[in-house]
Amino acid sequence: MGGGRQASASGVPNKSENGHGPSPKAHRKPSMSKVIMRAMADKGTRNRVSLAALKKAVTSNGYNMTHNIWRFKRVLKKLVDNGMLQQVTGRGTSGSFRLGKKQASKLKAKRRQQRRRSSQRRSGQRRSGQHRSLLGSKQGHKRLFKGVRRVAKCRRH
């Protein structure tokens, strides 16, 4: 007698059987404000980002801008009101934007920390400038030829 679909144990079809609701491996998109802030941070603190570039960034993260334009405008206005973004030109949600003073200082501090970390890692390595300075001294001259002798000795065998 039946239809083509089997019922679950309780008699009510599950959401996954029904085809509605999130699948078990649902990929969640980042929030629109996070996407906007990431696009702004990529440009830097002093550079402007146009409204079209922000829309493009949001679209590339999987948002349908024809359906979500109202959400985009609301989020953008909220970011400007909170001081996270600063509107450089235009009125309302049009024009160009850059990071607000709060966010700019955070971004600069983060970049400073990254530079310090990278310089600490490199401190153990020899720089190319140090090698050149050894050539002028007598000790450096000896070291240089000691290496050359080793290479020549290895080639003989």
Structural domains counted in the chain:
1
State pLDDT tens for residues 85-101: 989 998 888 899 988 88
Strand partners, 96: 50, 89
Alpha helices in 47-137 (DSSP H): 51-60, 65-82, 101-122, 128-136
The CATH code of the domain that includes 94 is 1.10.10.10
* Amino acid 117: pLDDT: 79
Does residue 140 sit within a domain?
no
Does residue 76 sit within a domain?
yes
Average pLDDT of 143-153? 68
Range(s) of the domain holding residue 103: 29-116
* Amino acid 78: pLDDT: 93
Q: What is the pTM of this model?
A: 0.53
In this predicted model, which residue has the larger pLDDT, 48 or 135? Answer: 48
Q: How far, in Å, CA of 111 to CA of 106, rounded?
A: 9
Does residue 51 sit within a domain?
yes
* Amino acid 22: pLDDT: 58
